[in-house]
Each structure stands twice: as structure tokens, then as C-alpha cells.
Amino acid sequence: MTHVRTAAMALVALLLLVAGAWASWDSAQHVLLAKGREHGTLTVTGCTEKTCTGRYDPEDAASTRRTLTIERSVAAEKGLTIPVVVKPGTDEGVRTGWGGGLHAWLPLGGALLLAAPLVGGGLRLPRTAWSAAGAGGALLVAAFLAL
């Protein structure tokens, strides 16, 4: 019976980590693999509860100026200029640089924190659990400080 419990805990912890990485990759891929994508700056003109919109000024003079949306972060406020990369085929931007990269990986940081008690208590791996919790917490704090 203990093997079944251990397998169930491992499966749930793995599911949490895969879900966190999957949720993070949607934005992180545009920050990490930004070569060949459209770059520029976004000047925030307004924010809703989930997104901010603003005027996009591309680095490439051949690109057109337009209005982009970006996922709202704690640091986004009206008038702020943010370096962004445009998601291909959309009018959605992703913040670039350290702040954007850390912000994109926030779901993984949360998943690491959620999985740590399962790893420590359910799998009886306290050092691994403390490492996962430390990495997740460090990611969350670094993203907060970078933004």
C-alpha cells in the first residue's frame, strides 16, 4: 500500500510541475527565443484587471506602429515604457529582459512551492522539498524585485 501512496504523491507532484512549466512556456518561449521576432517598446496607456494596452513603437522602421496588449504585472502603470517582443501573428506583447523572463516563469515558481510539501511529506524527501521550495520562492522574489 505504501508504494501506491508514494506513486500517487509522485504523480501529483509531477503533474504540478508539468502544469507550471506548460503555463510558463506560453510566454517564456517568446522571451527566451526572441531572435527573429519583432522587438520594440510599449508605452502603457491604460490597464484593466488582467491586461494593459498601449502604443507600440517597433525597433524596425519598416514595421507599423499599432496598439498592443500585454499581461498586466504589478509594475505596469500608465505612462510606463516597457521593452517588448511581439507574439507572432497577434497584437500581444511579452515583456523582455530579466523582468520579462522572470515574470514569464512565475507559474513554474508557484508550482515548485506547491509541490514541495508533497515531495517532503508524501515522498519523504525533505532535502529535495526544501530545494524545490527555495527555488520557487527565489523565483517569485526575483520576479517581484525585477519588475
Same domain, 113 and 132: yes
Angstrom CA distances, 17 to 23, 84, 119, stand at 10, 27, 11
Q: Are residues 122 and 76 in the same domain?
A: no
- Considering the domain boundaries, does residue 131 fall inside one? yes
Number of domains in the chain: 2
User: 58 lies in which domain range?
Assistant: 36-95
The pTM score is 0.85
pLDDT tens digits along 60-111: 877 777 899 998 876 778 888 999 999 988 999 999 989 889 999 999 999 9
Instruction: Tell me: do 46 and 89 sit in the same domain.
Output: yes
Same domain, 26 and 44: no
Asked whether residue 100 is assigned to any structural domain, the reply reads no
45 pLDDT above the threshold of 70: yes
